[in-house]
Amino acid sequence: MSQTRGRYDFCIGLVLAMSSSIFIGGSFILKKKGLLRLARKGSMRAGQGGHAYLKEWLWWAGLLSMGAGEVANFAAYAFAPATLVTPLGALSVLVSAILSSFFLNEKLNLHGKIGCLLSILGSTVMVIHAPQEEEVETLNEMSQKLGDPGFVVFATLVVIVSLILIFVVGPRHGQTNILVYITICSVIGALSVSCVKGLGIAIKEFFAGKPVLEHPLSWILLLSLTVCVSMQINYLNRALDIFNTSLVTPIYYVIFTTSVLTCSAILFKEWQHMAADDIIGTFSGFLTIIVGIFLLHAFKDVNFTLANLPVSLRKDDRATNGTLLSMHDGFNHDEESSPCLDEIQSTESLSARRNGSLSAF
């Protein structure tokens, strides 16, 4: 009975995670279009600290779409482990990349399409080899997990790094370096996922008739989640306003997934009982995702599609044949001109000897 229930929860979590990726991927497009409309109107941009986007309905539509995705994501964490839900966020990369090519005129070349495909394949491998998290059924157990020394150290480091990025690095390099604002969103997102996991347990206990509202951890988790999500929205808006959406989405995914997997491993001790093949599979899947993200990022300005692939191959063949022919002609020319060169060199050496002998006299 427990195995059947576990499979049922797994399927619910899988469907919710996939629908979450669709909503979130679409939200990036709606938010970006709203920010672009504001830029055309001459309003102060979000990347410069402006908040005019709060009056733009397209931005609010994107926020509602992201809210729906986050709700589905929230529910998915309640039914499935974080190592299943988080890697499926790669689907939002695919959705965002495809929609941005249609609605934002951000070209997605062949390398980008292969990168999206690799991201999905890597996520699938990570899901197959995902470690099993420790079962946490009550808020008391969750409070013990949150008080573990390893997690306390991790959370402290996240807060310190975030503060340094916000107050020191951000004002200097946030406008030019795409990693600054995205890193802030990602590391804070690791803490928000932990809050979501705890609130999911609280909701289950609430429907079971337990006095959840009297437990102080419920309110602490809710307040922490509100603060974390607000900061994520703020700095994600800045990154989207300054940089290309097809770059922000995949890079955010990679750093966010790394942060969440690290946090989940520390909090729920997921890696202690993993087999060697699952460890290799998890790392292989994640490296595959990174390769896909690299293809999206490194070749974004290369105009290369399936339509011009035969033309490129023909050009390469002509260039290769032309190089071989020129080398052959040059070689023949060298052979033909070598006797003349020998004669010239011998004449020059003779005259040099004569001059030398004359000067000796």
Best CA proximity match to 92, nearest among 119, 62, 118, 131: 119
If pLDDT is split at 50, 70 and 90, which confidence band does 345 have? very low
Residue 287 is predicted with a pLDDT of 86
pLDDT digits (tens, 9 = 90+) for 77-107: 777 777 778 777 777 777 877 787 777 777 7
The structure tokens listed for 40 are: 């055309």
Poorest-pLDDT segment among 47-51, 242-246, 283-287: 47-51
Measure the CA–CA gap between 289 and 296, rounded to whole angstroms.
11
Measure the CA–CA gap between 140 and 149, rounded to whole angstroms.
16
Measure the CA–CA gap between 130 and 124, rounded to whole angstroms.
10
Measure the CA–CA gap between 217 and 142, rounded to whole angstroms.
9
Residue 169 is predicted with a pLDDT of 92
Q: Give pairs for 203-209: CB < 8 Å, separation 24+.
A: 203/78, 204/78, 204/137, 205/138, 205/139
Please state, rounded to an integer, the average pLDDT across all residues of the chain. 76
- The residue type found at 341 is L
pLDDT digits (tens, 9 = 90+) for 119-139: 778 878 877 887 665 667 788
Best CA proximity match to 181, nearest among 238, 129, 250, 136: 238
Poorest-pLDDT segment among 115-129, 138-152, 200-214, 299-313: 299-313
Gyration radius of the chain over CA positions: 30
CB 162 within 8 A of CB 232: no
If pLDDT is split at 50, 70 and 90, which confidence band does 349 have? very low
Residue 158 is predicted with a pLDDT of 92
pTM of the predicted structure, to 2 decimals: 0.66
What ranges in 148-275 are assigned the alpha helix state H?
149-164, 170-173, 178-207, 216-242, 245-268
Measure the CA–CA gap between 163 and 160, rounded to whole angstroms.
5
CB 197 within 8 A of CB 135: no
Domains of the chain by residue range:
1-93
DSSP 49-110: T--GGGG-HHHHHHHHHHHHHHHHHHHHHHHS-HHHHTGGGHHHHHHHHHHHHHHS-----H
- The residue type found at 132 is Q
DSSP annotation of 45: P
Residue 5 is predicted with a pLDDT of 58
For the cut 80, the answer to whether the pLDDT of residue 26 exceeds it is: yes
